[in-house]
Amino acid sequence: MAMTVEIKDNKLCIEIDLEKPAPSASGKTLVVASTRGNAVTDVMVDGKPVTIGLNAYIKP
């Protein structure tokens, strides 16, 4: 998973690679992008790194 994160015009912009749809842990959805848990980024807000937990999915 490749993810880039930056702040542009006071907006958090996240770009993450799409994956081949795969069943989620519950099997109810197909995951197309995920950080697989929380990922600490290099982006700073108030001097602290932003942590992102992202799941993008489709319903079969």
Task: Transcribe 31-53 into DSSP letters.
Answer: EEEEEEEEEEEEEEETTEEEEEE
Mean of pLDDT values over 3-29: 97
Which pLDDT belongs to residue 21?
97
Which pTM was predicted? 0.83
pLDDT at residue 60, rounded to an integer: 87
Q: How far apart are CA 25 and CA 12, in angstroms?
A: 28
Domain ranges of the chain: 3-58
pLDDT in tens, 20-56: 999 999 999 999 999 999 999 999 999 999 999 999 9
pLDDT confidence of residue 55 = 96
